[in-house]
Chain A
Amino acid sequence: KAGVTQTPRYLIKTRGQQVTLSCSPISGHRSVSWYQQTPGQGLQFLFEYFSETQRNKGNFPGRFSGRQFSNSRSEMNVSTLELGDSALYLCASSLIGGGGAEAFFGQGTRLTVV
Chain B
Amino acid sequence: DQQVKQNSPSLSVQEGRISILNCDYTNSMFDYFLWYKKYPAEGPTFLISISSIKDKNEDGRFTVFLNKSAKHLSLHIVPSQPGDSAVYFCAASGNSGAGSYQLTFGKGTKLSVIP
What residues of chain A have their CB less than 8 Å away from a CB belonging to chain B? 4, 33, 35, 42-45, 48, 50, 55-56, 58, 90, 92, 96-108
Residue of A nearest to B98 (CB): A55
Residues in chain A near residue B102, CB distance under 8 A: 33, 45, 48, 56, 58
Residue of A nearest to B33 (CB): A100
**Closest Cβ of chain B: how far from A11's Cβ, in Å?**
15
Are A90 and B51 in contact, CB atoms less than 8 angstroms apart?
Answer: no
What residues of chain B have their CB less than 8 Å away from a CB belonging to chain A? 31-32, 34, 36, 41-46, 49-51, 89, 91, 93, 95-108
Are A105 and B51 in contact, CB atoms less than 8 angstroms apart?
Answer: no
A90, B93: Cα distance in complex, Å? 17
Contact of A97 among B31, B100, B106 (CB under 8 A): B100
> Could you list 23 examples of A-B contacts with CB < 8 Å?
A33-B103, A35-B103, A42-B106, A42-B107, A43-B103, A43-B105, A45-B104, A50-B99, A55-B96, A55-B99, A56-B97, A56-B98, A56-B100, A92-B103, A97-B101, A99-B31, A99-B95, A100-B51, A102-B46, A105-B36, A105-B45, A106-B43, A107-B43
Dominant secondary structure at the B interface: strand
Residues in chain A near residue B36, CB distance under 8 A: 105
Residue of B nearest to A108 (CB): B43
Residues in chain A near residue B34, CB distance under 8 A: 100, 102
Residues in chain A near residue B108, CB distance under 8 A: 42
A80, B98: Cα distance in complex, Å? 30
**Closest Cβ of chain A: how far from B54's Cβ, in Å?**
10
Of B43, B45, B96, B102, chain A has the most CB atoms within 10 Å of the CB of B43
